[in-house]
Amino acid sequence: MKNIHLLSITSAVFLSLYTSYMIYLDKYHPILIVTWLSSVILILLPGIFSQKFPPSFRLRTFFVPIIIALIPPTILFLLFSPTRLHTDDTILAYVSSTTDFIKSNFFSGFPQDKTVLISQFPAPLYIIQKFFLSIFGHTIMGIKISNLPYSFLVSLFLYKISRELFSDSIAIISVLLYGLFFPSLYLETLGVPYISSIAVFTVFLYLSIRSIKAPRYTDFLRLGIVCGLCFLFYYSSYISIPLLFIVPLLTNSKSIQKKAVYLSLSLTGFITIILPFFTHAYKFENLFTSRTSQVALVGGSWSSHKDEKINLKERISLYVSNFKLSVKSLVQNNIGGAGGYNFGSLSFLNPTSLALSIIGGLIILIKSIKSPGYSIIILSMSLSFTTMALAISPPGFHRFHISYPLFALTMSAAFSLITKPRHLVIKMASIFIGALLIGRYSLENLSSFNRAARNEYNSQYVQLADIINNQYLGRHIHVASFPGFVFERVYFFKSSDKVLSIDTRYHDDYLNNFNRNEKYIYVMTMPEVFKEKFEQADQNGKYVNFSQDFGLFVN
């Protein structure tokens, strides 16, 4: 490795260590963001300067992948609806839009106010979304569109992975199957940025396969860098860390020393990126394990077994039972779906997807015997599935989302059986069969998406916001519920400049300090309990029944 590269890496490590040391001493200052970003730039330089310049702009290797990678984002865009949301999407986007990440401790978890969201994520996830929202607009559709760059990135690197392992035609098919895969359509047409972790993990996977097939020092450094980035988005991409240790072992190098160097470079890249965040987590509050401590099957704060004393035998029995249930949820309806991501209570795979997954999985398994690059796909899917199987029931398909593009890759592998024939007649017949399979796959997956999403349109929160904007402008909006209730966050992306203010408090707080002299509208939860109390607070006010869950009180 060139001396200039060593100097760049050494400087990056030093800046990361300095940043971490200051955080450990509790001497945070915004300048530490600059020192960390400088370390990121410096650690990237060896990989950048090892690239060939000028880059190739050939049709096959540059333009075709970009065009193909635009298919899934286009499909998502066509299926977007401003009336369908989960509310996690608006909460995360609200945090992105309203937080000053320079004044706050950049290396801590966000949101820092836990009444806003029960889980915390690193600042880069929000800052990138903040940037996209500034371009696409602070609207519900803007939230959804802000995820499309990630969809493009996933599709582009899925294409690259498929081409590395199979061929150009399989690469095209894999991207098409990913763009039409029911679980992807369901989750990614919401505005929750889970897809950010899929994107960064897909890049990690591509570099892993490249590094196994043709190991280079700079590729292993980049592999570690991207592994570090996997920890700056959603939790599901944390499965990259065991793979980081496995990839050097799968290279064809017989030298243990060389494999040790590969691993050392990967760990250097990883630590440089993540050390300041890990330092803050170690010294103050560990955001990296917070979600696991909630959803763990045994010991999680949300687990039905959290207060039980469970011995080893019982623990193993619980894990085995949950693992079996998770497997069943892949092929049986009315099992999977959790946390508001219900997937219509449908199975993860429909018949065509299941058949293609089995055939493609066998092909990849056979190929992995001779070529270890394929085994990374199997390991990744296994690790991702395990994260779902070890979490509380019912099986949450959204916890398994890292595998969505890998399922598309696996299913596309089945088509390698019909893309090889060279005889014209057989080739034409193969194309016809392939087209029929893709057509059937498309119909089944689009049908599953429609069934799963049809009852999720016309969100009550969106309807409430529209009624206020159409009938009750020029007022103070008071949301009578509990601090952190989501409507205020949803309304942020539907708001009109003619609304005077909006706030959220407990019902009794409003009742004890009722202001009859202002123009108001109260959005009231539990109307059956509080309707009469608000009417007594202002006899000139009028109660408007909205639904079983919400009532309005206006003057």
Per-residue model confidence (pLDDT) at position 57 = 64
Supply the pTM of this predicted model: 0.94
CA atoms of 528 and 336, how far apart (whole Å): 33
- Phi and psi based region of residue 380 (left: phi greater than 0; alpha: psi -120 to 50; beta: remaining): alpha
DSSP 300-347: -TT-TTTTS---HHHHHHHHHHHHHHHHHHTTSSSS--BTTB-GGG--
Per-residue model confidence (pLDDT) at position 404 = 98
Domain boundaries defined on the chain: 1-54, 56-453, 460-554
CATH says 460-554 is which class? alpha beta
CA atoms of 81 and 19, how far apart (whole Å): 43
Per-residue model confidence (pLDDT) at position 422 = 67
Instruction: Scan for tokens 């119909």, then name that residue.
Output: 443
Q: What is the DSSP letter of 122?
A: E
CA atoms of 194 and 135, how far apart (whole Å): 20
CA atoms of 347 and 331, how far apart (whole Å): 5
Per-residue model confidence (pLDDT) at position 421 = 63
Q: Could you state, in chain order, the average pLDDT of each consecutive group of 10 residues for the chain (555 residues)? A: 84 98 97 98 88 64 91 98 94 95 93 83 96 96 98 98 96 98 98 95 97 93 98 95 97 91 97 98 92 87 81 90 96 94 96 98 96 95 95 93 98 88 75 92 98 95 94 94 93 86 96 95 96 95 94 96
The single-letter code of the amino acid at 132 is F
DSSP 333-384: SSS--BTTB-GGG--SS-HHHHHHHHHHHHHHHHHHHH-HHHHHHHHHHHHH
- Please report, for residues 4, 6, 97, 105, the alpha-carbon distance to residue 39 in angstroms, rounded to integers and kept in the order given: 15, 13, 27, 18
CA atoms of 468 and 85, how far apart (whole Å): 19
Angle, CA 453 vertex, CA 451 and CA 456 arms, to 5°: 130
Per-residue model confidence (pLDDT) at position 116 = 81
How many residues in total does the chain contain?
A: 555
DSSP 140-198: HHHHHHTTHHHHHHHHHHHHHHHHHHS-HHHHHHHHHHHHH-HHHHHHHTSS-TTHHHH
Per-residue model confidence (pLDDT) at position 258 = 94
CA atoms of 300 and 292, how far apart (whole Å): 7
Please, which residues bridge with residue 503 across strands? 478
Closest CA to 481 of 508, 453, 443, 519: 508
List pLDDT tens digits, range 185-199: 999 999 999 899 999
